[in-house]
Structure 1
Amino acid sequence: MQLVTWNTQWCCGLDGKADPKRIVDGARALAGPGGFDVLCLQEIAQGFEGLQGAPRDQPEQLAMLLPGYQLFFGAAVDEYVPGASGTLQRRRFGNLIATRLPVRQVEHHRLPWPADSAVPSMPRMVTAVTVEAPGLGLVRVMTTHLEYYSPRQRMAQAEALRALHAEACEHATTPPAPSEPQLPFFAKPHTAQAILCGDFNLAPSEAEYATIQRAEAAAHHRWHDAWPLVHGDAPHAPTFRLFDRTYGPEPISCDFCFVDTTLVPHVRDIRVDGATRASDHQPVGLVLG
C-alpha cells in the first residue's frame, strides 16, 4: 500500500502559480511506477480566488486529474462571505483524501478550537477514510492539518487525535450490537489498523509530538511515528522551509506519518521528496507491505 501526504499550500508553488496537476504529478513521481493507492492533501481551496495564484475549484480539478480514484473533501473552513456582486458566496478550505482502494466508511471530525485572542487561527479537522488494502485488510486513513500560530490550540488538537484513535480501537474490539442492514444503525467497519498523516505544524522535539504518541493506560494501541521505524535515529528529513524561509530561518520537519501498533511490522519505507518546489512543503511517501 502506497500513501503520499502533502501540504499543498492550495497547490501554489514557489513560483506563485496554483497548479493542481503539478501536485498530482509530483505525488505520482514520489510513489514510483506503481503509483499511489491513497493521496492525502492538506490546504485544498474552493472559492478562495483571492489567494496567491487565484486557485479555482480544486476538489473539482483534482477529481478530473485522478480518474479511477474516489475523492473525499473535508472542509475545516466552510463559510459564506459577500462576493463582488453583493451576494453571499461559499468558500471552503481543508483536507482531501483520494484513493483507488475500495472504501468502506468516511468520517469527518472537527478538532478542538479553544479561544486564543493573541494570534490568528482557523478551524481544524481530520478526515478519516476506511479502505480495504490488499494484504492488510481494513485500514483507517486519517489526514489532518493542525494549528500553526497557537500552541494551546495545537496541544488540544494533538490530545483529540489520540482520543479519536482510542475510541475507534474500542469500537473495533467491542463493536455495537447488530442491527438490520437497511438501518443507519447497521454495524460499521471499525478497525484498529490506522494511519495518521498530514502537516502537524510541530517539530519532533515539541511536546505535542510526544502527546500524539502517548499510550493510554493498559492500552495496546497507540500512534508510532513511521520515520524512526525505517531510519532509526537518523533525523527526520525536512519538509518545510527547505526553500522558502518566510516562516523561519531553518528547514524543519513537521509533516509526519504515524501508524497504529498493529501496522508497525508492515512499515516498509518512508521518504521525502526534497527537490520539488510545487508547494512550500515537501511531500512524504509511506509504503506498507
Structure 2
Amino acid sequence: MFKLITWNIQSGRNPEGNIDLDRIVACLERFARHDVICLQEVSSGYGDGEDQFAALRARLPGHAAAAAYACDTAGPGAPDAPRLRTGCMILSRHPILESFRHTLPWPPDPGVPSMPRTALEVTVAAPGGLLRVVSAHLEYFSCTQRLAQVERLRELQREAWLHARVGRASGDGPFAAVPRAGPALLAGDFNMLPGSLEHQRLLAPFDDDTPPWRDCWHLAQPGRRHAPTVGLHDLRPDAAPPFTFDYVFASADLAGKVRRMRIDASEQGSDHQAVLVELDWNAA
C-alpha cells in the first residue's frame, strides 16, 4: 500500500507548548511506514529560531524534500537577521520529479485577521506510477479568502489535468518537459467543516472532463461522519467539541484506489491530529 500522512505540526509544538521536532518525527514514524508526508505550519526564525525546514530534512534522511513559504518576512534587528518563515513541506521516500509553489489568493477582508497562504505541489515517481501530491493550508478567519483559495485549487486541478493529458513540448534547460501526473492527492489543513460551502465547492464537478476532487474519508468509510481532527485534547471548560479541519482529497481517477483512512488520535501538542490515507498504488 502507498501511505500518505498529513499533519499541521504547529511549529513542532509538544504537549507542554515547547518545540520538539524529534518528537514530531517519532510520532510520524510510529503512526505508519509512510511513503509521503505533507506538513503544514513548518517554521523558521520563530520560537527558538530554528530553521525547521532544514531540521526536518536532516532528521528524515532518505527522503526527497520540497518546501513552500507562505510567509517570508525580515527578522528583527540587523539586516542579516534570520528571516521569519512559515509554510508547507512535503517529504517523500520516492523521487520528486518536479515542484510547484502556488501562492493562494488573499483578497482584502477588512477587519479580519489573516495571513498569506500557499499550496505546495510535487510530482512523485511512486512505485505504482507518477502521482501528484499537493499540500495546502487555507485561511482560518476569513471565509471570503478561504473560498477564493478553494477556487484557485480547483483551477490548479484543471491546469494540471490538461498538462497531464496533452503533455508539454520539450526543449533545453528549464524548457525540458517533465511529466505532470494526472492522478492526484490534495492534503492539508483546510480550516473548513465537512459539508460547509467551501467543502462542497471544492468537491463540485467541473464543466469539462477534469476529474473532480473526492473526499477520501467518504471513499474509505462511506456513510460515516468525519472523524474529528482538531481539539481532541483540549480540556478547557469552555472548549468547543472536537471537529474536522484536516482532509485528504483524491482526484476522481484515483478514487478507486483509496483503501483506508484513519486519524492518529493519541498524539498531543499541535491541536491538530495526523491523518493517514492508504492507496493501492504500489507496483505488484
TM class by shorter chain equals over 0.9
- Amino acid of the residue matched to residue 61 of structure 1? A
In 2, Cα distance between the equivalents of 1:26 and 1:2?
15
- Structure 2 residue 27 is matched with structure 1 residue 30: no
C-alpha distance 16-224 of structure 1, shift in aligned 2 (>3 A): same
Match of 2:250 in 1: 259
Match of 2:41 in 1: 43
- Amino acid of the residue matched to residue 202 of structure 2? I
- Amino acid of the residue matched to residue 23 of structure 1? I
Gaps of 5+ in 1: none
Match of 1:129 in 2: 122
In 2, Cα distance between the equivalents of 1:245 and 1:131?
40
What is the 5 A alignment of 1:1-289? 1-31=2-32, 35-49=33-47, 54=48, 56-83=50-77, 88-135=81-128, 137-176=129-168, 178-180=169-171, 182-244=172-234, 249-289=240-280
Q: Which moved more, 1:21-30 or 1:151-160?
A: 21-30
**SS across alignment from 1:262:** coil
In 2, Cα distance between the equivalents of 1:232 and 1:184?
44
In 2, Cα distance between the equivalents of 1:9 and 1:88?
23
TM-score, scaled relative to structure 2? 0.93
**SS across alignment from 2:145:** helix
- Amino acid of the residue matched to residue 80 of structure 1? A
Q: CA RMSD in A?
A: 1.6
Query: Contact conserved, 2:183 with 2:251, CA < 8 A, in 1?
Result: yes
Cα offset, 1:205, TM superposition? 2.2
**SS across alignment from 2:268:** coil
- Amino acid of the residue matched to residue 15 of structure 1? E
Cα offset, 1:183, TM superposition? 2.9
- Amino acid of the residue matched to residue 21 of structure 1? D
- Amino acid of the residue matched to residue 239 of structure 1? T
Query: Contact conserved, 1:108 with 1:126, CA < 8 A, in 2?
Result: yes
Query: Contact conserved, 2:17 with 2:269, CA < 8 A, in 1?
Result: no
In 2, Cα distance between the equivalents of 1:125 and 1:251?
26
- Cα deviation, 1:141-163, whole Å, max 9, x if unaligned, reads 00011000000000000111111
In 1, Cα distance between the equivalents of 2:187 and 2:114?
21
In 2, Cα distance between the equivalents of 1:6 and 1:284?
6
In 2, Cα distance between the equivalents of 1:248 and 1:164?
36
- Amino acid of the residue matched to residue 50 of structure 2? R
- Cα deviation, 1:212-237, whole Å, max 9, x if unaligned, reads 11111132411000001111111111
In 1, Cα distance between the equivalents of 2:147 and 2:235?
25
Cα offset, 1:248, TM superposition? 5.1
Query: Contact conserved, 2:100 with 2:122, CA < 8 A, in 1?
Result: yes
In 1, Cα distance between the equivalents of 2:162 and 2:71?
30
TM-score, scaled relative to structure 1? 0.92
In 2, Cα distance between the equivalents of 1:217 and 1:60?
42
In 1, Cα distance between the equivalents of 2:115 and 2:85?
12
Query: Contact conserved, 1:10 with 1:45, CA < 8 A, in 2?
Result: yes
> Deviation above 4 Å: which 4+ runs of structure 1?
85-88, 245-248
- Amino acid of the residue matched to residue 169 of structure 1? W
In 2, Cα distance between the equivalents of 1:205 and 1:173?
31
Gaps of 5+ in 2: none
Query: Contact conserved, 1:23 with 1:278, CA < 8 A, in 2?
Result: no
- Cα deviation, 1:68-101, whole Å, max 9, x if unaligned, reads 0122111000111322x57654111000111110
Cα offset, 1:179, TM superposition? 2.7
In 1, Cα distance between the equivalents of 2:96 and 2:178?
12
Cα offset, 1:40, TM superposition? 0.7
- Amino acid of the residue matched to residue 263 of structure 1? L
Query: Contact conserved, 1:12 with 1:278, CA < 8 A, in 2?
Result: yes
In 2, Cα distance between the equivalents of 1:223 and 1:271?
19
In 2, Cα distance between the equivalents of 1:88 and 1:82?
7
Query: Contact conserved, 1:198 with 1:257, CA < 8 A, in 2?
Result: yes
